Chain A
């Protein structure tokens, strides 16, 4: 990955070479095929991921149903929930197109917070922006769920469909399966950190 590619990302247009080198020093690059599951909502993500190219879809997966939340593009971040706080990510993330991401682990994030720099400021701003966008997307859904919960009747799948849930396709279900080939569509292109490499091996 080159500085020119980073400067093509919204929010990084005026980044100095030093800032980009700092970014490369704390992040690992990963490439994902179409349909690959980058994050399983039931598990913690391996780190926060900035989309460098391609499109990702975030969704809730419950049983054999999925609720698409938003389609994210270059410059957006995913995997921030479990990177900031222990626990599952909640939102599953799949590649809509062939995608390239930069992965920032929790250790990298803590290091950036402890040693504030223009790079960490840029990253924090982008993370807050992405989560703000997710919260805005969730607000109408939460509002509808609250309303449904106050209705004194038995809810059915039709209510879930009205909310935006759809049945997961068989391929997606196989990919979502805990024992399935999730992660096989992922290739490590380059890494600069032992921690990332170790996590990646564990996932394979």
Chain B
């Protein structure tokens, strides 16, 4: 296990670019849009409207295929955010380190999820550490590649960012619920049951009487 850096989590050892997948004579487009991993990972995004053939080609052409070993740190908290990873066949855990305290796992991500999305919007540093849970395949897109994608194919970039935003929403909800349920537990507040799960209220004797006076059926459910 690598040592933790003070207050900034573990240092990443960048996932290796899988050059074996590169088409002959190409050093740029390491991913083909016909790649089954790419197709499967894209299916997890639920992009609306779906990407056309040429759009998939353009997106795949901006990506690099990477691999990471189990427990390898993919990106480190506090490191410059220069690459966004899209998990193709992977599970990873997110960790957060506070100086002088043990590192805590704050979440997990799986196939189709993004990590390090700050690289797409010019964030300075990664806010957490991500470590591969198993031997993993990832697609990577660098800040420069995404800038290029925005310039040449803004329609793809918009939908890609919308998919990223959708995942951020889910993560915010999960994080929020963790804090909310802790606070509810401390304050002794019973969280309200969502209306859909609550079902109809059981009729009381008085309710049944009013129902009969109002001309309702005498038969009880």
Contact = CB atoms under 8 A, between A and B. Distances in A.
Q: How large is the interface on A (under 10, 10 to 19, 20 to 34, 35 or more residues)?
A: 35 or more
Interface string B137-172: 000000000000010001101110110111011111
A156 B188 CA distance: 10
Q: Chain B contact residues: over half helix, strand or loop, or mixed?
A: helix
A138 B172 contact: yes
Interface stretch (A1-9, A29-37, A99-107, A119-127): A119-127
Contact of A62 (B49, B102, B106, B180): B180
Given A141-B179, A146-B104, A135 B171 contact: yes
Nearest to B177: A90
Interface string B99-143: 001101111000000000110111100011000000000000000
A131 interface: yes
Contacts of A135: 127, 168, 171-172, 175
A43 interface: no
A146 B106 contact: yes
Contact of A114 (B48, B98, B178, B189): B48
Q: Which of A117, A131, A157 has the most CB of B within 10 A?
A: A131
B104 A143 contact: yes
Interface in A141-165: 141-149, 155-157, 159-160, 163, 165
Contact of A90 (B96, B127, B180): B180
A186 interface: no
Contacts of A145: 178-179, 182
Q: Chain A contact residues: over half helix, strand or loop, or mixed?
A: helix
Given A146-B104, A157-B186, A113 B179 contact: no
Interface in A65-94: 65, 67, 80-81, 84-85, 87, 90-91
Interface residues of B, number: 48
B165 to A, nearest CB: 5
Given A124-B162, A143-B96, A85 B175 contact: no
Given A63-B184, A155-B185, 19 more contacts: A60-B179, A62-B183, A67-B179, A85-B173, A90-B172, A90-B180, A114-B49, A116-B155, A124-B165, A128-B168, A129-B122, A131-B168, A131-B169, A135-B171, A136-B127, A139-B128, A144-B98, A145-B179, A157-B186
15 contacts: A65-B183, A85-B170, A90-B173, A113-B159, A113-B162, A116-B157, A118-B154, A128-B165, A132-B168, A135-B175, A136-B128, A143-B98, A146-B178, A148-B182, A165-B183
Interface of A: 60, 62-63, 65, 67, 80-81, 84-85, 87, 90-91, 112-114, 116-118, 120-121, 124-125, 127-129, 131-132, 134-136, 138-149, 155-157, 159-160, 163, 165
